[in-house]
Amino acid sequence: MVKKEIKDMLEAQVNREIASSYLYMALSMKCKIVNFEGAAHWFRLQSIEELTHAEKLINYLTMQGEEVVLEQIDKPVVNGETLLDFYTQTNKHEQFVTGCIHELTAAARANNDFSTEALMQWFISEQVEEEANVMDIISKLKLIGNEGSNLYLIDKELATRPAAVTVTA
């Protein structure tokens, strides 16, 4: 069993991951409606990945003998109209999630909860990767601007994102 403070923080993170999935599904639908099929694909896969993050946390908690309580998820708000807007929102969101992961890791360390701290190291590495991937896309979008065949090309590139998601506790 984990300490109540850590359990509460882990549960909150489960709900954040599910909310992230919900946001990315909304972004996928927004991209699809404006015919950015590649970006829609990218966000759909990101949505699925966030659910696997939630599942990883749920698996950990249940292995520790803890019941997980899911909270209500608010309707996601999609800001902007362009791909650059969508990926800028994604970057800000991922930075927020990274901050939450860091807080959880610090709390685990302060409570000498080495198991949870070890789990959080995986999430820290995952967040570094996620932020780098989004920043790469933002850099390309800033370089090409918001019109013309270059948007078509980057959308085609986004469509090549592979679906490689696994969950382990």
Domain boundaries, the chain: 4-158
Q: Are the C-beta atoms of 141 and 157 separated by less than 8 Å?
A: no
Does the 4-158 domain belong in CATH 1.20.1260.10?
A: yes
Read out DSSP for the chain? ---HHHHHHHHHHHHHHHHHHHHHHHHHHHHHHTT-HHHHHHHHHHHHHHHHHHHHHHHHHHHTT----PPPPPPP----SSHHHHHHHHHHHHHHHHHHHHHHHHHHHHTT-HHHHHHHHHHHHHHHHHHHHHHHHHHHHHHH-SSSHHHHHHHHHHTT---------
Average pLDDT over residues 107-113: 97
Please count the CA atoms within 13 angstroms of the CA of 16 that sit on its side-chain side: 17
Q: Are the C-beta atoms of 81 and 121 separated by less than 8 Å?
A: no
Give the whole-angstrom CA distance, residue 150 versus residue 146: 8
**Range of lowest pLDDT (17-21, 71-75, 146-150, 164-168):** 164-168
Confidence of residue 64 (pLDDT cuts 50, 70, 90): very high
Confidence of residue 158 (pLDDT cuts 50, 70, 90): very high
